[in-house]
Structure formats: C-alpha cells, structure tokens
Amino acid sequence: MNTLKTLTGDITRLVMDAIVNAANASLLGGGGVDGAIHRAGGPAILAACREIRQTRHPDGLPSGEAVVTTGGNLPARLVIHTAGPIYHSDPDPAGNLARCYRRCLELAMENQARRIAFPGISTGVYGFPKEAAARIAIGTIRDFFAEFPDAGMSVTLVAFSPADEEILLAHLR
C-alpha cells in the first residue's frame, strides 16, 4: 500500500530511506533546501556530486533529471538530487517539474527506498507558483502510485511553513 502525506518541518532531520534535494544544475550546493542538505549531510554528499559532474553530467544536471548520492551525515540513507525548472525561463516548466517528481520516484524504487520525502521543488527562488507546483507534485505522485500500486512507498511532502502545508493539504483532499 502506498501512502502520501504532508508535514511542516526540516527535511534534513527526517529519518527516511531517501530525501529529495531541490538542487541547482551544478549539484555543488547552493541556497535554500540545497544548501541545508549539503551542510547537514557533510562532505560525502559534495564529493559524490563532484564525481557525478565529472563522470555523468559535466555540463550540469538537466532540468527534470535526478541522480542519487549517499545521505552522508543525514538520518536519510540516500539523497536524490533533482534540478527543478526555473519557472520564467524554462520552455516547459510544468512538464519538467512533473519529470522531477517522476524521476525521483523511479530512482527511489531502483534503490529500494520506500520512505521518501520531497521538499517543494522549484517553489523558492526558481519562482514556480506554489499552487500549481502542489497540483503537479500530487498528481504525478498519484499517477506513479496508480502505475505501481504494490510499491509500498510512503511519500512525505515537506512544507517550509504551515501556510505552504495548507496549500498541499488543499490538493490532497
């Protein structure tokens, strides 16, 4: 049985199989959730990201794609890094945001990560409207669950604030 829930909190403190990092294309850390994950996870995450840049994505992680690294010092075993779309400059922001969620769920399954937490991808400095992003995230996750009903995944959407959680809850109903 798959489950989907929300909470307001710090994604870096959650005990999960995997947490998702709303990364920038460089994979080398940044602000917001990305910076918090790199700081809390320690040097092992940055080292793994540097290796991915050198071997698989020398030009940076494309929007809508995702990669997996160790969780380093985090309570989560893995970090799934995804580069969300920059809303006002991406040619297909809705499609690329849906691809972010879908690809992260696929990588979670491939890595036997049944408990996964997502932040709001692209809803900070990347400017994606929170209502639309919530609708896309929840719709994509529900579509994935319908395709893989026996995956046994527990997905938590982690809100930055109670107001952000209310937006998510409105779309879960």
Give the catalytic positions in this structure: 34
Record the tokens describing residue 160, joined without a space: 């930055």
Taking the C-alpha atoms of residue 35 and residue 41, their distance in angstroms, rounded to an integer, is 10
Residues 136, 142: Cα–Cα separation, whole Å: 10
Torsion of CA 37, 138, 141, 87, to 10 degrees: -60
Residue 114 identity (one-letter amino acid): R
What is the distance of C-alpha 144 from the center of its chain? 15
The rounded Cα 137 to chain-centroid distance in angstroms is 10
51 strand-pairing partners: none
Give the pairing type, strands 18-23 and 78-83: parallel
